[in-house]
Structure 1
Amino acid sequence: MSSERLIYLPLGGAGEIGMNAYVYGYGKPGQERLILVDLGVTFPDMDTTPGVDLIYADISWLKERADRLEAIFVTHAHEDHVGAVAHCHEALGAPVYARAFTANIARRKMEDAGHPPEAVRTVSAWPEQIKAGPFTVGFLPVSHSIPESAALVIDTPAGRVVHTGDFKLDTNPVVGEPFDPDLWAEVAKPGVKALVCDSTNVFSSHPGRSESEVGPAITQLVEDATGMVVATTFASNVARVKTLAEAGQRAGRSVVLLGRAMRRMIEAATETGILSDFPRVISAEEALDLPRQNLMLIVTGSQGERRAASAQLARGKYRGIELKDGDLFLFSSKTIPGNERGVIRIMNQLSEKGVDVVDDSAGLYHVSGHANRPDLEQMHALVDPQIVVPMHGEHRHLREHAKLAEAGGRAGVLAVNGTMLDLSGNAPEVVDYVETGRTYLDGSVKIGALDGVVRDRIRMALNGHVTVTVILDEDDEPLGEPWCDSMGLPETGVSRAGLIEVLEEDLNQFLMRADVKTLRDDDKLEEAMRRIVRQSSQIEIGKKPEVTVVVSRMK
């Protein structure tokens, strides 16, 4: 029996949707040579991560073993798969391999972060393969909602692993390669040890629809509109952006792309040869000189992002363009769970302007980029793996996908972030648990989710803040009375007196009766004053604010 093993370890993306990062290793236990598949981000929200810019997986485990990391392979250019590559490059240092379109996006991110873009290497599609230590990895084309998506064929001494990435079974995806079942059957023919598989739509019981099916409905909607038409979708969905632009062109409208991400994706698709016949677009400045009924705007912000073009148009003007009564706004996208509040806010703001808002509640103007349950069953049958490892999904998705695999007579295993599997034998075995978490990009600084920074920010947002300042003389006697400053708190409480006056009086009473031992000990003094402020505030306003005590001593 071999003393070496094949391991799989998700650091992100298993037990959640987003922030994908999957480690594979081969070798003696504790000495495995490693590769990383995807390194993505997820996005913050004001409720749980206020002020945070981006969130990605805690790579501490991998950073400690960076000398054993052979390479990073990126399946496609969605932010939840490629968004953290530049942020982690300094810590990991490994070469990054991707297909042309994804590599183009990754290089732009590297340049923006001040890292060498040549660290990202372009790879052709299967049958080309890259040697990375004990692994040989090839990019197998698959359809998704972004061009040049790929599954990975990972050959190891313990057998072949197929990592699907995000995928759907679309034989007519408008832009990019169609799903080719014959090619996949050819790859599966030698036998597949494990299929590590997308689980996002495991609860959708109907077969997935083709991207080409939304074109006619969108075209009809645009042709019937009488005012300006604005449409938003994921900027990365190049096929949808093209469909929208062509609908505008067919209706005799001039097309305008608004939003940096939208323009960047179309530029990348054009530079890499994926797009060659995109309709002509005009600038926002040129649009101002045209009748509004002759315009079709395609804008960023389908998920309610506050700074994106959609939100700015809903609030007022963007680049001089303003929406008015009788205009049409189309959400050609699905709202990601957690983003509903922002999207609904924009819809209501648009409605207040008299704009007709159309979403995809009827299923006419959007199709998913992920495989539905019947498609997953078809993939299982086509690849016929010994083991199915569900990934890219919340816990309930992974659990249901594992049940689906077992119902088909295959071993299914539930492995959430931090679960290390040994895939070497005939059945998967959990061999270790690794502590995982999240890293926050907060402005220009990286902080840990457990560092307390965001926790304190949330507590201040919920409870307000009081700063207490007291000065003590050379004899440790209070020099005058303490004073307070507050933020985020009402001016008066239930006593009708000013909150600050009440706090200062209670603190002064405490100082007048405090013993010498307390007055000489900064820690005891701060703790006592903090407790008084919180207790008095609770009585006055029903809240216990966060308190900062500043003790100054004269020498």
Structure 2
Amino acid sequence: MSGAERLIYLPLGGAGEVGMNAYVYGWGKPGKERLILVDLGVTFPDMETTPGVDLIFPDMSWLIERAVRLEAILITHGHEDHIGGIGHFWRDLRAPVYCRRFTGHLAQRKMEERGNDPEQVHVVEAFPETIEAGPFQISFLPVSHSIPESSALVIDTPVGRIVHTGDFKLDGAPVVGEPFDAELWHDIAADGIKALVCDSTNVHVENPGRSESTLTNNIRDLVLQSSGMFVATTFASNVARVKTLAEAGREAGRSVCLMGRAMLRMVQASVETGVLTDFPPVISHEEAEDIPRENLMLIVTGSQGERRAATAQLSRGKYLGLELAEGDTFLFSSKTIPGNERGVLRNVNAFSEMGVNVVDDSSSLYHVSGHANRPDLEAVHELMRPQMLIPMHGEHRMLRRHAEAGEAKGITSKVATNGTMLDLTGEYPVVCEHVETGRVYLDGAQKVGALDGVVRDRIRMALNGHVMLNVILDEEDEPLGEPWAETMGLVETGRSNAPLVELVEAEAAQFLARANDKLLTDDEKLESGLRRVVRQVSVEEIGKKPEVTVVISRLA
């Protein structure tokens, strides 16, 4: 049976982590499968582990090497962790991109920004419209999430139907977008579901999820009760929340101003694609300067502490002519993503020092998640009754807990992290291969591998400082003048109270004076010896072992 056709599932990103979603499905003989890719996302760097990096991608090498067999790229929704890599990798993959209208609007823009043909993005309608991609027939099934027109995928294969949920929640009144339709999901599962590949993000949350519409009254009451200027931040892509906030501001008699490029872009895209038809009128930031504080509401970007976003700039002072003052109110209508706490708290404390009243989500009154909680996931398990459950989109603890929930209901479940290929052909998921996966960094204009050493060296320089030592040798391979050193990121003087640079130069000069002819003619050994001298002096004087660059110049 080794040559028989098989159905495979391979996560390249998003399984064992939150972010960088990229999932491959394939059908055919081993090594010759026709493939589709579901989502191609990014994650974001931090100064501690990835300083200077712009974006982080999943390592797509495995798929790029097999791009001739790739039939289609399917994007479930417009969040960056699902769509952010499309423009960066399309030239390597060169397969048609399929998504719904709002997501397509964002995808085409990303393609244009990277010099790709936006016509390669094909807009499709929701279920029951079907596209063919090699051996697969695929439909986009509307789901509720925290961005318009999110979709699950119904993937019909030669051995059965797969439902790939994407990111979703059970919301019958999502304010913007389509509500969850249990009857439609039931009909899709009527003839049997071979595999449910399912979002695991909120599996540890024991309470049923709440609808976006439950926030309306809470937010309205808070705005009505507040004096001074009212400012709110949320995820720019959560157009439903932005609309709820704007409507609360208008109801309170306030003029509403949107601030931040991402916020303006998302609202504009929603209007242009028809998913948002009744957004309240807004004013420009120039007009906002002339509005009395008590009559003004700002809705701004930066809920995750991003240093260049509107929230952070307001926390540091004036932004586009506007600034907060004592008695104003700032609402975080969002959840802080793990890892972003420090940046968010920096802004909160800055507002507190100004006398601004900060309201966060600790009361759960002003934010609901876009992901299904454990009771909602179990309801979907019951509704779909799949032959097998494959948890995806989540850290390992989430995938494992989700698999346990499925097993408790009698559903065969398998945890497959990035690089673990599953054979879904039979009655049970079976690990059939492991492929090399990892991360790729966008560093400026270039992609670099996480193991290439670029960021590692940058971190080492940040931690240890840097010394450059320059040496000149004459035509006889004898030192010409004294070596000279330059330091960066190091204190100027150490234990002996003498300048570190002078001590390094003196020790290097003595090393050269003792060096024999053989050493002086061997650049590699000379460089190694001088590097040891510099580090030894630095450790003795300042207790640091810096990165050292030795420049040896020889006169011809």
- Give 1:88's aligned amino acid: F
The Cα shift of 1:472 comes to: 0.3
The Cα shift of 1:534 comes to: 1.1
Q: What pairs with 1:324-473 in structure 2 (closer than 5 Å)?
A: 324-473=325-474
Q: What pairs with 1:290-305 in structure 2 (closer than 5 Å)?
A: 290-305=291-306
The Cα shift of 1:17 comes to: 0.2
Partner of 1:63: 64
- Give 1:64's aligned amino acid: E
SS of aligned partner of 1:289: coil
Partner of 1:82: 83
- Give 1:335's aligned amino acid: T
The Cα shift of 1:111 comes to: 1.3
1:310-333 deviation digits (Å, cap 9, x = unpaired): 111101111111111111111000
- Tell me the distance in 2 between the aligned counterparts of 1:325 and 1:114: 47
Over 4 Å off, 4+ runs: none
- Give 1:226's aligned amino acid: S
RMSD: 0.7
1:397-452 deviation digits (Å, cap 9, x = unpaired): 00111111100101110100000000001110000001001111111111111111
SS of aligned partner of 1:147: coil
1:145-168 deviation digits (Å, cap 9, x = unpaired): 111110000000011100000000
- Tell me the distance in 2 between the aligned counterparts of 1:405 and 1:516: 73
2:93 is the counterpart of 1:92: yes
2:263 is the counterpart of 1:287: no
- Tell me the distance in 2 between the aligned counterparts of 1:233 and 1:291: 24
The Cα shift of 1:293 comes to: 1.1
Q: What pairs with 1:475-514 in structure 2 (closer than 5 Å)?
A: 475-514=476-515
SS of aligned partner of 1:523: helix
Counting matched residue pairs gives 555
Partner of 1:540: 541
Partner of 2:274: 273
The Cα shift of 1:457 comes to: 0.6
- Give 1:404's aligned amino acid: A
The Cα shift of 1:517 comes to: 1.0
- Give 2:146's aligned amino acid: S
TM-score of the pair, normalised by structure 1? 0.99
The Cα shift of 1:113 comes to: 1.4
The Cα shift of 1:26 comes to: 0.3
- Tell me the distance in 2 between the aligned counterparts of 1:50 and 1:325: 35
Partner of 2:314: 313
SS of aligned partner of 2:184: helix
SS of aligned partner of 2:550: strand
Partner of 1:158: 159
TM-score of the pair, normalised by structure 2? 0.99
SS of aligned partner of 2:361: coil
SS of aligned partner of 2:216: helix
- Tell me the distance in 2 between the aligned counterparts of 1:222 and 1:11: 44
Partner of 2:112: 111
1:464-496 deviation digits (Å, cap 9, x = unpaired): 000000000011110011110000000011111
The Cα shift of 1:23 comes to: 0.3
Gaps of 5+ in 1: none
Partner of 1:522: 523
- Tell me the distance in 2 between the aligned counterparts of 1:37 and 1:195: 14
Gaps of 5+ in 2: none
Q: What pairs with 1:255-270 in structure 2 (closer than 5 Å)?
A: 255-270=256-271
**Quick one: percent identity of the two aligned structures?**
70
Q: What pairs with 1:128-147 in structure 2 (closer than 5 Å)?
A: 128-147=129-148
The Cα shift of 1:112 comes to: 1.4
- Tell me the distance in 2 between the aligned counterparts of 1:279 and 1:425: 53
The Cα shift of 1:116 comes to: 1.1
1:86-122 deviation digits (Å, cap 9, x = unpaired): 1111111111000000000111111111211111100
1:334-374 deviation digits (Å, cap 9, x = unpaired): 00000001100111111111111111011110000000000
The Cα shift of 1:33 comes to: 0.3
SS of aligned partner of 1:248: helix
- Tell me the distance in 1 between the aligned counterparts of 2:159 and 2:526: 64
Partner of 2:246: 245
- Tell me the distance in 2 between the aligned counterparts of 1:196 and 1:128: 21
- Tell me the distance in 2 between the aligned counterparts of 1:295 and 1:444: 40
- Give 1:267's aligned amino acid: Q
- Tell me the distance in 1 between the aligned counterparts of 2:225 and 2:507: 69
- Tell me the distance in 1 between the aligned counterparts of 2:456 and 2:47: 12
- Give 2:251's aligned amino acid: R
- Give 1:217's aligned amino acid: N
The Cα shift of 1:214 comes to: 1.0
- Tell me the distance in 1 between the aligned counterparts of 2:511 and 2:253: 77
The Cα shift of 1:204 comes to: 0.2
- Tell me the distance in 1 between the aligned counterparts of 2:534 and 2:215: 60
- Tell me the distance in 2 between the aligned counterparts of 1:84 and 1:551: 42
- Tell me the distance in 2 between the aligned counterparts of 1:504 and 1:69: 59
- Give 2:429's aligned amino acid: P
- Tell me the distance in 1 between the aligned counterparts of 2:233 and 2:334: 7
- Give 2:83's aligned amino acid: V
- Tell me the distance in 2 between the aligned counterparts of 1:485 and 1:247: 59
SS of aligned partner of 1:193: strand
